[in-house]
Structure 1
Amino acid sequence: MSKQEEVQEQTEADLREEATTAEVGPGEEMSPEEEIASLSAQVEGLQQEVASARDQMLRAAAEAQNVRRRAEADVEKAHKFALEKFARELLPVVDSLEKATEAMAGADESQKEGVEMTLQLYLAAMEKFQIIQLNPLGQTFDPQYHEAMSMVPNPALPSNSVMDVLQKGYTLNNRLLRPAMVVVATGGEPKKIDETA
């Protein structure tokens, strides 16, 4: 007989003895039916305890798995968006290079070409790290990615379309880094507001 079987037999014997002494006073004998009923009640109680312990174990395992998933998601976000603050600080440099190319319209062509090449290299380096430029000129206004600075009546354009971009926007891994500042066309004369109402 193995050690485990010995321990199990001893435990069962102890339980029977406890049940007998608990329900039967000193000097009293239990009938076999009473003993079976007593043991059945104890078995039922132990089964409920086992079920409760199993439920607690499953809940603890589920909680541990949820914590692990949350931690993995947090690490993934940290990797994806670690550059966010750094990228925000570099956006004014891109804006300055774009303004420089616009200002050099009548300047020496080689200088203008040099600034444009620098700007293109800079934008390509940003795209390698999933920093994408938003230039919504001619697109429909999207408040998730655009910030309307003004609305101008323009019958030549469809209503709610971007007619001018004051400052380009950027996303980092599809998360908005900076909204594009735009002028939105209203598609004609603005509606008169009835002030008498």
Structure 2
Amino acid sequence: MDKKKHGTVQSADETIAAAGFAGEAAQGKGEDVQSVAAEERIRQLETELAAKEAEAAANWDKFVRERADLENYRRRTQKEKEELLKYGNESLLQDILPVVDSMERALGHADSESLSAVIEGIRMTHGMLLGTLKKFGVVAVEAERGTVFDPAYHQAMCQVEVSELPPNTVVEVFQRGYLLNERLLRPAMVSVATVPKDAA
């Protein structure tokens, strides 16, 4: 009976030990599953991080290229602006040079020809110059005698009492005004009519 008892106790101990080993094995297996899941998650995060780093590097390269392009554009436009300021009037000046030539020819003939020939030469030169100015968008401001005075285009130098013209009209033009492409380049200097005192 003692032997039986002893065998039962031993068998129970073995069962407990086996159960303990099984529990440890199951626990070890659970830890292995968690470890594998954690490693998988780490690999996934590392892949995502690498993708984001590559995207950030590509964006940085794009930014650097765009910045360089912008700097090149600024330099190019600055150079073009400087050249425009320096040589912008080249075409106008080339067209004015023949006018200078005509005036020099007229002055050269002043001694050898009559006064009427010189006057005709100056008249032709004046016409050439006005034609050149018109070609570049420069036209005279309307300021003939009797034109209504307009402070946007005329500069009043004095007032003149006249009975034959309505008040606030141009009496005389001292210096012509000009427009450049419809924008005022220089106002016309004029005298302006007022009502005579004895008529008031």
Larger radius of gyration: 2
What TM-score do you get using the length of structure 2 for normalisation? 0.46
Q: As a proportion of its length, which structure holds more helix?
A: 2
TM-score by length of 1: 0.46
